Amino acid sequence: MNGRTYCGHYRGHYLKSTLEYIYARYLDYKEIHWEYEVKIFDLSTGGSYKPDFMLSDGSYVEVKGGFNYQTDLPRIKCFEKDYGVTVKIIQEKDLRQLIASTPMVYEHLKQEWKQIAKGLGMDTSGKNNSRYGAKVSNITRAKISAKAKSRMKDSEYKSKWLEGRRNSAKVQKQNERLKAYNLLRQYQVFVTCHHCGKEFEVLFRKNKPQKYCSYSCSNTAKFSKISGDKSFLIQKLALDFAKNHAQSILSCKVNKIISVLRPFYDQIEKEFGIKDERTVSKALLGYQTNRKEILFYFHSLVENVLGTTGK
């Protein structure tokens, strides 16, 4: 688990990763009853273990994005041996195979969870903390005590520890600022789309706030560098160009389009600062298209104004 995971509530449970949400959705689709982090089990080695999911058949499931075989596997094996149960380990590749057998789409579920979770980061307060209610065994206490005492015998370590204590106030202030930032990061605000003017709700972002309500508006605005007035002026320039270069336009071959229309594009760039041919085509035809269709457009201008012979 890391600080960049998406955590949130689903069906009364505080799930701590996107993978856990996707697996919960899979279980719901298969109509398999499940419970989440129901109990902390004490292990014979002195530690403890809390499985992610307990299924209706009494088996347990551990959902892991990255599995550490040196630290995680021994605890799971010890738990299975102590309590006579089985734990199935599911990683991302396994989860993708499970979802592939359903009508659901893995990537869609990921995006869906981001919207439900409403922000990165894990809330570790109260019952949302996976260690909530866990008691430290006497064996663990003894290990912690022995390790602390051995460390304090090292003068270099002790001096660093004292220095850290002196800086604790500074660290605490930094933590408070980080908490305030995380709360602000999950703050919902209403903004107005820069393209269509529609008001929509998004997460607050201090740097680079969201400008558009949808990908469609963003994409349209990105390539719509021209207003209605500019479109009219560009069309007028196209008409003048067609009158002055009628013969070269009518006799132009497909592989010579750019050389024939180059003076027109140069004039557009000089007067409006527009270099992209797609933007010019949108001003002329109302949509982005290729050079061949632009040539046909100029053909129609010549024929409509000067006739089919261009004279």
Mean local confidence (pLDDT), 211-239 = 75
| Alpha-carbon gap, residue 205 to 32, rounded angstroms | 39
DSSP-assigned beta bridge partners for residue 201: 190
Mean local confidence (pLDDT), 103-132 = 73
DSSP-assigned beta bridge partners for residue 266: none
| Residue 71 pLDDT grade (very low, low, confident, very high; cuts 50, 70, 90) | confident
For position 3, what pLDDT does the model report? 45
Q: Above 70 in pLDDT, residue 205?
A: no
| Alpha-carbon gap, residue 71 to 139, rounded angstroms | 18
Q: What are phi and psi of 162, to 5 degrees?
A: -65, -40
The predicted-structure confidence for 271-301, as pLDDT tens digits, reads as follows 888 888 888 888 888 788 888 898 899 988 8
**Which residue has better confidence, 85 or 212?**
85
Q: pTM of the prediction?
A: 0.44
Count of residues in the chain: 311
Q: Above 50 in pLDDT, residue 76?
A: yes
Q: Above 90 in pLDDT, residue 22?
A: yes
CA atoms within 13 A on the CB side of 213: 12
Q: Above 50 in pLDDT, residue 67?
A: yes
Q: Above 80 in pLDDT, residue 115?
A: yes
Q: What are phi and psi of 6, to 5 degrees?
A: -95, 125
Structure-token pair, residue 233: 């002026």
| Alpha-carbon gap, residue 5 to 117, rounded angstroms | 10
Q: What are phi and psi of 197, to 5 degrees?
A: 80, 5
For position 187, what pLDDT does the model report? 66
The predicted-structure confidence for 118-177, as pLDDT tens digits, reads as follows 666 555 555 655 555 556 667 777 888 888 888 888 888 888 888 887 777 777 788 788
Residues 34/54, Cβ–Cβ less than 8 Å: yes
Could you say which architecture CATH assigns to the domain 8-128?
3-Layer(aba) Sandwich (3.40)
| Alpha-carbon gap, residue 231 to 285, rounded angstroms | 10
**Which residue has better confidence, 249 or 68?**
249
**Which residue has better confidence, 22 or 309?**
22
Q: How many CB atoms lie within 10 A of CB 176?
A: 10
Q: Above 50 in pLDDT, residue 2?
A: no
Q: Are strands 8-10 and 34-36 parallel, antiparallel or unpaired?
A: unpaired
For position 154, what pLDDT does the model report? 87
Q: Above 60 in pLDDT, residue 103?
A: yes
Q: Would you kindly state where each structural domain of the chain is located, as residue ranges?
A: 8-128, 188-222, 225-306
Residues 237/264, Cβ–Cβ less than 8 Å: yes
Distance between first and last Cα of the chain = 75
Considering the chain, what percentage of its residues have pLDDT values greater than 90? 23
DSSP-assigned beta bridge partners for residue 63: 90
**Which residue has better confidence, 302 or 31?**
31
